Amino acid sequence: MATATTNDEEYDRAKAVKHFDDSKIGVKGLVDSGITTIPRFFVHPPEILSDLKPGSALGSEPDFIPAIDLAGVESDHRRAVIVEQIRRASSTLGFFQIVNHGVPLGVLDRTMASIKGFYEQPTDIKAQLYRREMVTGVSYFSNLDLYHSKAASWRDTLQIRLGPKVVDVDQIPEIFRKELIEWDREIKRLGELLAGLLCEGLGVEAKRLKEMTCLEGRAMVGNCYPYCPQPDLTVGLAYHTDPGVLTVVQQDHVGGLQVKYGGGCVDVKPIPGALVINIGDLLQIISNDDEYKSAEHRVLANLKNEARVSMALFFNPGNREDLYGPLPELTSPEKPAIYRQFTLTDFMNRFFGKELDGKSLINYYKL
């Protein structure tokens, strides 16, 4: 596919998008084909691209996004310190990194290598999994919001459903099956620890989020950001917030993740062995804006010859028809609920039915 050179009256964007999607080659396939210009529907408007210039990030220091050491989290003194560090980061940036988190580095390295291996497979092999629906619990596609967004982003996505209804193991591609199962077990354990610490930061029972099934809905997403021949015209992932409760992200060394902060953005510098944690919209609502804020974040288009790969585990409630909203213990006549209650089904349907566009989802539920 080549960049369109015809005028607006001759260009049929919907047709071009469908042709790309039907080809099942993804962005990685475009790059592997040797293109030197990006298809027109990947080009973002100037206002989106205005701050992509090198050095535009506000935070270039590695510790602008705090790296919180979880060593000693079971001791009372260290736990109190860690809870306060997490509370502070979650209420300001909505992002932090963790080290000494207990997930073996070998597990992280093996799983990342296996996901990269998936993306390095021939296009025709990956195309067998290319689908947008999650009937089997496994899907591979380009751009979740491809048909809703004003411009596509330069990435491909692999998605695996891990809970509450666990994907049939035989449906998981063999190239990363064993590694993913081990990785999920470790990240699930870490998620329970983090949920407890976040609850303590709110001043509620440590098991409160777990009792609300907030850790049962789990989905792994492995994003691939191949080399982009025109990184000044597009992004790897547009600004958005995650809809769920909590996200645990494993970056590789390439970098490109940025968090919106103040009037600009902050780089999330890769730290060997660290995991990135960010607050989701649902946790902001549950906390009634009392402490925790979800943060808009994006990924720059990759200008390096090496593809950037990241893995994320999204934690969501398992009971889709229960009502969710601010915790009753965090509301009072002096501080009433500022969000209405809703079902997770309604919440997620709204998320998947729109483009990735900042905090419009959470704002919809404000009273």
Distance CA 62, CA 40 (A): 35
Domain ranges of the chain: 22-364
Residue 361 banded pLDDT, cuts 50, 70, 90 = confident
Indicate the CATH number of 22-364 among 3.30.70.20, 2.30.29.30, 2.60.120.330, 2.40.50.140: 2.60.120.330
Q: What is the pLDDT of residue 355?
A: 62
Residue 264 banded pLDDT, cuts 50, 70, 90 = confident
CB 112 within 8 A of CB 309: yes
Question: What pLDDT digit, counting tens, does each position of 172-209 carry?
Answer: 999 999 999 999 999 999 999 999 999 999 999 999 99
Residue 58 banded pLDDT, cuts 50, 70, 90 = low
Asked if residue 164 has a cis previous peptide bond (ω within 30° of 0), the answer is: yes
Q: Is the pLDDT of residue 156 over 70?
A: yes
Question: What pLDDT digit, counting tens, does each position of 61-81 carry?
Answer: 446 899 999 999 999 999 999
C-beta neighbour count of 329 within 10 angstroms: 12
Average pLDDT score over residue span 2-23:
77
Average pLDDT score over residue span 97-123:
98
